[in-house]
Amino acid sequence: MTDRFVSNFTNRLDAKGRVSIPASFRAVLAKDGYEGLYVHPSLDLEALDAGGHALRATIDDILSRFSPFSDEWESLSTALNGTSEVLKVDPEGRIMLSGTLRAHAGIVDAVTFVGHGHKFQIWEPARFQAHLEAARSRLRNVKRTLGSHMTMTPGATGA
């Protein structure tokens, strides 16, 4: 399974602010043929979205469907292109998060990498735990509401 980002890993930042990208994620990025890690603040979460060409391609694809002079293009491009960073990956597989990125996610001295298939997220560990719990309880409520009719259809199976 080297073509999708899965699982989660928590690594520490060193004194210089560097942090290792999990080895399994590096393998995915390598297959994707990357030069630098593409990162931008999530539009609606206190987290960062990161990835390689696959992530970049989805952004370009979305923007390409709007006229460069439209308001939608302006807003999307400002939020995505304008706040994206292409982080260099050092020979050891580490990156450095800018102050802006760290601030957006509340990152201090450790981060949690969370696989999302074609991309992955970067969280402050405690915030991710809270986010995970929230997601789980949300799913529990949905399941309770639906009762016995929730019969594990493909894609609905979270676990």
Interacting partner of 72 out of DNA, a second copy, none (Cβ under 5 to 8 A depending on kind): a second copy
Q: Is 88 in the site for DNA (CB under 7 A)?
A: yes
CB of 77 to a second copy, least distance (A): 5
Which residues, including other chains, have CB under 8 Å from residue 45's CB and lie 6 or more apart? Answer: 121, 131
- Residue for token digits 């304008």? 82
42 near 116, Cβ under 8 Å? no
Buried b (16+ CB within 10 A) or exposed e, 11-31: bebeeeeebbbbeebeebbee
Tell me which of 4, 12, 31, 140 binds DNA, using CB under 7 A: 12
List contacts with a second copy (CB under 8 A).
1, 4-8, 24, 35-36, 38, 43-45, 56, 58, 60, 62-63, 65-66, 68-69, 72, 74-79, 81-86, 114-118, 121, 131-132, 135-136, 138-140, 143, 152-154, 157
